[in-house]
Amino acid sequence: MQFSQLRTASPEPQGTLSTALPSSPQLHPLRRSALKPLPLISMGKILGVVNQKGGVGKTTTAINLAACLAIEGLRVLLVDCDPQANASSGLGFQRDDNRRSVYDLLVGDCTADQVILPTELESLSLIPGSNHLTGANIELANADDRAVRLRNALETVRDTLDLIILDCPPALNLLTLNVLAAAETLIVPMQAEYFALEGVSELISTLERVRASVNPGLIIEGVLLTMYDDRTNLAQQVTETLREYFRERLYKAVIPRNIRLAEAPSHGKPVALYDSRSRGTEAYFELATEFLVRNKMESPRGVQRKAAAATAAKRETKVRFWPYS
């Protein structure tokens, strides 16, 4: 199907994302709930980075948004819920099956404070992932509280943090369900491509089921365009379609294709530490700033900058004329 067909396959106004989605009443409650005002949470907000489609920049976004917010002074915990543990290696922690991980939280072998690891950034900590998470889908299948294990485990530490970011695996399984049950809001990274629009339909259906069963307050924080190339007509058309459907929930910040952003994980660093002047670094700081504004949060660094600006504004430059008195 051509993109032009996608945009005209419905009697609704052209350009709306609903033309790309199956006609279903399930879309209407999500449309309202996804666009309602974000809940104001002063401490310990839990944010999921979610998309059932792989290769769209979920882990890259989780790592770099967490790092940028930590550099701004927020106390951030990144939780790697993917058996591939890419968020862990992206912060310098190589695979170690003997190390405690999210798996130990889910099966109840330890508490959250026993598994948290410090990172290179003082305000950023990590609960690592593990290959053992693959087995958690089977081991917890018959547990009555299998969907809320992660939410319950994080309750013990959330009051000591400003933000908890959950990196979700690219699959719809028990791990993803735990992320959706624990999160209060979601960021959905996606590429500006046709198949990404098809994935939105699946995501909407999943969110509706989760809202109806284990997490009625779950809403979409925002949709983030990643690996973006604005030189293509398709990217611009998909962006327009997403903006007309998600409106203010589509982030103004856009993550471009950037070689430094791709190289940073191999060095075990977020891009802000790997190359502070790269386009990828600038883009994720723009996202972090927009995230703070949307949530009416102010970072410690932001407070310092405001105080410095106010001090500078109060200084009066006195002009002296000859002869000086």
Tell whether 311 is covered by a domain.
no
SS3 state of residue 270: coil
Residue 120: CATH number of its domain = 3.40.50.300
Per-residue pLDDT, 17: 36
| CB 66, CB 76: distance < 8 Å | yes
Q: Tens digits of per-residue pLDDT, 18-41?
A: 333 333 333 334 444 544 555 555
CA–CA separation, 274 vs 258, rounded Å?
13
Q: Tens digits of per-residue pLDDT, 120-160?
A: 999 999 999 999 998 888 898 888 899 999 999 999 999 99
Question: Which residue range(s) make up the domain with 60?
Answer: 25-298
Weakly modelled stretches of the chain, pLDDT under 70: 1-42, 316-325
Burial of 256 per CB tally in 10 Å (0-12, 13-18, 19+): middle
pTM for this one? Answer: 0.84
Tell whether 10 is covered by a domain.
no
Per-residue pLDDT, 325: 56
Tell whether 140 is covered by a domain.
yes
Q: Tens digits of per-residue pLDDT, 187-215?
A: 999 988 877 777 777 788 888 889 999 99
Tell whether 313 is covered by a domain.
no
Provide the domain count of the chain: 1
Tell whether 45 is covered by a domain.
yes
- Phi–psi pair at 45, nearest 5 degrees: -65, 140
Tell whether 304 is covered by a domain.
no
Tokens of 26: 């399930």
Per-residue pLDDT, 91: 97
Tell whether 276 is covered by a domain.
yes
Tell whether 2 is covered by a domain.
no
